[in-house]
Amino acid sequence: MAENEYAQVGPVPRAHAIPWWVRAVVYCFTWLPVFVLLVSFVPRFLPIFKRLFEQGGLPRLSMALLAFAQMDAAFYHIPAPYCR
């Protein structure tokens, strides 16, 4: 066998590439359950989060999650303010 028989000579053809709109739909549907949980369940834990925040025991990631949920609810769940 030749030494360079398996070497790539040029770009790989994308004959079976998935169209962009299929990737966009799959991406949206994979994030949809996470977003629904964020919008519906996180605001229910606001009293617990406030108590933990006052005691200094709330992690930064939880604070960011709560801030995102509050901002999302304040803008009526419209993603336009996030795109600025």
Note whether residue 69 is domain-resident.
yes
Contact (Cβ atoms closer than 8 angstroms) between residue 69 and residue 43: yes
Residue 44 included in any domain = yes
Structurally, the chain folds into a number of domains equal to 1
> With a threshold of 0.75, does the pTM exceed it?
no
Domain holding 26, by residue range, is 20-83
* Phi/psi-derived region of residue 18, left when phi > 0, alpha when psi is between -120 and 50, beta in every other case: beta
pLDDT at 63: 86
Residue-level pLDDT, tens digit, the chain, 84 residues: 555 666 666 665 665 678 888 888 888 888 888 888 888 888 888 888 888 888 888 888 888 888 888 887 887 777 655 555
In a domain, 68, yes or no: yes
Residue 81's pLDDT is: 52
In a domain, 11, yes or no: no
- 4 found inside a domain: no
Instruction: Indicate whether 2 belongs to any domain.
Output: no
